[in-house]
Amino acid sequence: GQVVHTNIRYIKEFEWYLVVEQPEKETIKQIFITLIINLVICVAITIVVLILINLSVTAYQNRIETLRGIVPICSYCKQIRDDKGYWNRVEAFVAKHTEAQFSHSICPTCMEEHYPEEYKDIKEKK
């Protein structure tokens, strides 16, 4: 009453038939072991992917939360107070808390106030 699986292959070079007999229990055992190994590998890959996604989401959340909230700024000199109570220039504060970089320029109002002659020349050229 034992079930046996038979596999037959023809070997052309020798003109032989190769017959392999294997009890069903061994065949099922090998298939089951392969299945378990595949499941373990899939679970491991899934865990690694979930950990990487979690790290990525956490990193982006931290970047988003960096600029959230109320930023105390001096109404006269426009310096910003950090969490430790120190006053910093706007450029330094933004550079520290973001990836933004500054390029300095002068708005027309400040140009007219601080450099009236150059402002006048520029206005005349337009």
* Residues 62, 79 within the same domain: no
* 125 has a pLDDT exceeding 90: no
pLDDT, residue 67, reads 63
Give the residue numbers spanning the domain of 60: 25-66
* Residues 57, 77 within the same domain: no
pLDDT, residue 65, reads 66
Does residue 7 form part of some domain?
no
Does residue 1 form part of some domain?
no
In the structure encoding, which two tokens stand for residue 121, read together?
């020349």
Structural domain total, the chain:
2
Helix (H) or strand (E) segment spanning residue 70: none
* Residues 75, 120 within the same domain: yes
- Indicate the pLDDT class of residue 54, thresholds 50, 70 and 90: very high
Helix (H, G, I), strand (E, B) or coil at 83: coil
